[in-house]
Structure 1
Amino acid sequence: MKFAIALFSPPHSPAARRALRFAEAALAGGHEIVRLFLYQDGVHSASANIVAAQDELSVSEQWGQFISLHGLDGVVCIAAGLRRGVLDQQEANRYRRPAANLAAGWELSGLGQLHEASQQADRLVCFGGH
């Protein structure tokens, strides 16, 4: 089965951990992930500046390792990212911000990427949100 996964909640939330565990289980079960899409507060999982407390798991770091290890398509909604200060170098330059903070492995793109992923996948599985 092909899954598209959308995360709407920040990295310190139970939803972010559940999304990661679901993605790991999906691949372990022989399924495919066509895209991971971060939206709303989920975009914080793609920030290279997130630091988890020493006694907590770093879900942001785990997401980065996961997409790198499996060569997955990790997309961050550009509008949600800009509103929350998650920028790649191009956007940091465009808006004259002092630094980019988009973690390696992720790319900024439009909400159309979520729509496209939902068309390519058998199931769109969403985590978090209101």
Structure 2
Amino acid sequence: MAAPSCGTTTEAVGNGIPTGDKLVLRGLKFHGYHGVKPEEKKLGQKFVIDVDAWMDLRNAGKSDDLSNTLSYTAIYRIVKEVVEGQSQNLLESVAQMIASKIFTNHPQISAVRVQVQKPHVAVQGSIDYLGVEIVRYRSIDAPN
């Protein structure tokens, strides 16, 4: 996959995951009402979200100035708003909404990876979680 056309050095390699600088948010936990079963809509459940947001961090590293990067809390707020917000049937929709809002609110982000985990799923057997993971590039999936 080619590099995004938004002026960064982010590129995809063999497995489609971008390379380069990124902000990393792991294990964000929220209670939401997503799923197709009535009890999921009524009672809700815990969701765990991981986000990688690719952007050029060289100037921030050189300057040690917050204005040259993006505060983690800005991404955290987007994730919280989506997961605690309007109920969706599919985790794919939750992940896509998070990615889209990150691109809309933060033009310096060139690519994003969003993983949505459901740790408490009614399945036979022992699991850590079930979920989805998406990778989106600004040049393909969002306006510049």
Common fold: TM-score over 0.5: no
Q: Would you tell me which structure has more helix in proportion to its own residues?
A: 1
Q: TM-score, normalised by structure 2?
A: 0.25
Q: TM-score, normalised by structure 1?
A: 0.27
Q: Would you tell me which structure has more strand in proportion to its own residues?
A: 2
Q: Which has the higher contact order (CA 8 A, sep 6+)?
A: 1
